[in-house]
Structure 1
Amino acid sequence: MNGLYALKPWYAETLSGVRAALVRREVSPDALTLAGVVCAAGAAAALALLPFGWSAPPVAVLLAARLAFANLDGALARDTGRTSRRGALLNELGDRAADLVVLAGFLPLAPLWLVATAGLAATLPSWVSLAGAAAGAGRLNGGPVGKTERCALVVLAAASGWCTPILVTVAAGSALTACLRLARLWRELAADAPAEAAVPGGVR
C-alpha cells in the first residue's frame, strides 16, 4: 500500500547533506514548509502558462523541490529540537495548501468541476490519516495515489497534455487510497477496542 512512499527512507538519506547544511545555517523549519507551498504555486503556474512538453521540466523540478521541502521541514525540526504543536499545525496546513495549489494549475486546462473534484479527493487520504491519529492510531502515509504519486501524475500531464485522464486518475486513486487507509485504521482500532463487559441478566 505504501507506493512511492516506500522510497522515503532513501530520499531522506539522499537529503541528509542538505539537512545538515540547513541545521548549520539555523534555517527555520517553518520557512521550509512555506517554501514547499511556493514551489507548488510555481509548478501550477508553469503547468497553466507554458505549452505542454515545455512545461514538464519546470513542473518536475518544482514538484521535486516541493517534496524535498515536505521531507526536510519535519526532519529539520527534529534535528534542531524545534518541534512544536504550532509547527505540526503549519506543516499539515502547508501540505494541504500545496496539494490544492498544484491542482489549481489545471483550471485553465480542464472543466472546473473536474479540477474541484480532484482537489477534494486529493485531500481525503490526509484527512483519514489525521482522524486516525486523533483516535490514537499510527499516522498512515503512502498508498496507491499518495502525495508523491500525485506529483508524478501532474508531471505526466505537463508532458503529455492528458489533463482530463490525469485528473480522473487523481480523483479516483485518491478516493481509493482514502478508503484503503480507512479500512486499515478501522481494523487497527477495532483490535484495540476493549471487550464489552457482560452484565448479569443480559441487560446492558
Structure 2
Amino acid sequence: MNGLYALKPWYADRLSGLRRALAARQVSPDTLTAAGVVCAAGAAAALAWLPAPLAALPVAVLLAGRLAFANLDGALARDTGRTTRRGSLLNELGDRAADLLVIAGFLPLAPLWLVAAAAFAATLPSWVSLAGAAAGAPRRNGGPVGKTERCLLAVVAAASGWAVPVLAVVAAGSAVTAVARAVWVWRALGQPETAAAAVGAVAIERAAAAERGTATERDAATERTVASEKSVVRVAEPASPATRRRPSPAPSPRPSPLPPKPARGLPLDTGEVSGGITHTRPQTPADRGTQLRGTR
C-alpha cells in the first residue's frame, strides 16, 4: 500500500521541464534541498500565526513547493551525474528537518505532548526504511501516512482548525506506516536473492575500501620515495692518485759558475777572514811599493 506515493512518477513527469531548466542553469541539488526546508519553515509559520481559513492557501502552496523540491533534488542529481554520498546524507537530513518543522507549526494549536508524539512518530517510517536499506533491502517508501499524506493533513488542519485530531492521525498513522514498512523489509531480507544481493553489496564495498586503502598506501610509498631522493646529497668522488697534480716547485736560482769580476782600476787585496767571510779592499800605492821591495 503506497498511498499518495504512487503518484510520484506522474508528479515527476509534470516537473520534467523545470528539471531541465534547472540543469541548464547548473543549479546545485543541495540548493533545492535547502529550498525545500525553507518552504517547510514558511508553511509552519503560516500554520502557527494565521487563522484557520486564511492559513490554508499559503500552507498548501508552500508544502507543494516542499514536495516539489524534495522530488527535484534527487532527480536533478541523477540527471546531471552529481549524485554523491554527501548529497544523499543532506537529502535525508533535509527531509527530516522539513517534517519536524511542519509539525512544529502545531505548537500554538495543540498540547505539547501530542506535538512531540506526532513528531517522533513521523520520523519512524524513515528510520525503518534507512535501516532496511543499510541491511541490503530495497528502499521502501509510501504507506498509509507517508510524507505526502502528512503534508495533506497539515493543509486540512490549516483549513479547518482541527489541529488536535490531525496530530492524532499523524501520530497513529505514522506508527502504522513504520510497522508496515518493517514487516515488508523483514520479508524482503528473508528472500534468498535479497540476501545474496546484500552479501554482494557488502563484498563490493569491502573491495572498494581495500582498493582505496591500497591506493593510499601506494601514494604514501611514492611520496616517501620522492622525499628520500630529494634528501640524497651527491658528493663528487675524489680524484685518483694517478690523476692528482702536484704543485710544481718554484725554480731555484742557479749559482753563477764564474766568480765576479773585480772592478777595473785597482787590484783587490785579500783581507782578514771574519765569520767565514773574506773581506777584500783595494790596494793603495804604498802597498804596491811594499810588495815590490819584498820581491827584490
Place the TM-score, normalised by the shorter chain, in its bin.
over 0.9
Aligned to 1:200: none
CA distance in 2, matches of 1:191, 1:139: 15
How far 1:52 moved relative to its partner? 0.4
Is 2:56 aligned against 1:20? no
Cα shift readout 1:21-78 (whole Å, capped 9, x = no counterpart) = 0001100000000000000000000000001010000000000000000000000001
Counterpart residue identity of residue 178, structure 1 = A
Cα shift readout 1:124-150 (whole Å, capped 9, x = no counterpart) = 000000000000000000000000000
Counterpart residue identity of residue 144, structure 1 = P
CA distance in 1, matches of 2:64, 2:6: 16
CA distance in 1, matches of 2:81, 2:53: 43
Cα shift readout 1:159-197 (whole Å, capped 9, x = no counterpart) = 000000000000000000000000011111122358xxx
Which SS does the other structure have where 1:103 is aligned? helix
Aligned to 2:156: 156
1:54-203 correspondence to structure 2 within 5 Å: 54-192=54-192
CA distance in 2, matches of 1:3, 1:89: 25
Aligned to 1:201: none
Counterpart residue identity of residue 69, structure 2 = F
Counterpart residue identity of residue 181, structure 2 = R
Counterpart residue identity of residue 120, structure 1 = F
Which SS does the other structure have where 2:107 is aligned? coil
Between 1:99-108 and 1:182-191, the stretch displaced more is: 182-191
Aligned to 1:202: none
How far 1:104 moved relative to its partner? 0.3
CA distance in 2, matches of 1:170, 1:84: 32
CA distance in 1, matches of 2:178, 2:23: 35
Cα shift readout 1:87-136 (whole Å, capped 9, x = no counterpart) = 00000000000000000000011000000000000000000000000000
Which SS does the other structure have where 2:53 is aligned? coil
CA distance in 2, matches of 1:71, 1:146: 14
Aligned to 2:207: none
Identity across the alignment (%): 77
1:25-64 correspondence to structure 2 within 5 Å: 25-64=25-64
Gaps of at least 5 residues in structure 1 are 195-204
Structure of higher RCO (CA pairs closer than 8 Å, 6+ residues apart): 1
CA distance in 2, matches of 1:35, 1:169: 27
Which SS does the other structure have where 1:149 is aligned? helix
Aligned to 1:198: none
CA distance in 1, matches of 2:191, 2:22: 42
Query: How much is the aligned-residue C-alpha RMSD, in angstroms?
Result: 0.8
Structure with higher Rg: it is 2
Gaps of at least 5 residues in structure 2 are 197-296
Counterpart residue identity of residue 31, structure 2 = A
TM-score by length of 1: 0.94
Which SS does the other structure have where 1:53 is aligned? helix
CA distance in 2, matches of 1:103, 1:37: 13
